[in-house]
Amino acid sequence: MLRVFLIVLFFLIIGTTALCAGAEPKVEVFPPASYDRHIIYQALIFFWIGIIGLVVIIAMKLREIKRVQKMGIDEEEGNVPFLD
């Protein structure tokens, strides 16, 4: 009985070792700690707020440029007299 148990145990150990050798642990491609994840997602939200802010500023600037261009006062005249 003991002999059968030892043989089964032997094959179990060998089998488990072989299985573990084949399955390499998966590489963590993203920080696993929940605190780090929280910081990263928070930074992503701030990043988007920054981008949206910049887009709004540029769009406003562009609108102003177009308004000035439409009025025709954006170009320098060639024969403007010097004030000095």
Q: Judged by CB under 8 A, how many residues of this single chain contact other proteins?
A: 22
- For other proteins, the closer of residues 9 and 59 by Cβ is 59
The yes or no reply on residue 38 touching other proteins (CB under 8 A) is no
Instruction: Work out which of 9, 13, 39, 55 binds other proteins, going by CB under 8 A.
Output: 55
Tokens of 34: 């929940």
- 3-state SS record for the chain: CHHHHHHHHHHHHHHHHHHHHHCCCCCCCCCCCHHHHHHHHHHHHHHHHHHHHHHHHHHHHHHHHHHHHHHCCCCCCCCCCCCC
Stretch of residues binding other proteins (CB under 8 A), selected from 9-17, 23-31, 76-84: 23-31
Which lies closer to other proteins via its Cβ, residue 20 or residue 44? 44
Binding site for other proteins (CB under 8 A): 24, 26-31, 40-41, 44, 47-48, 51, 54-55, 58-59, 61-62, 65-66, 69
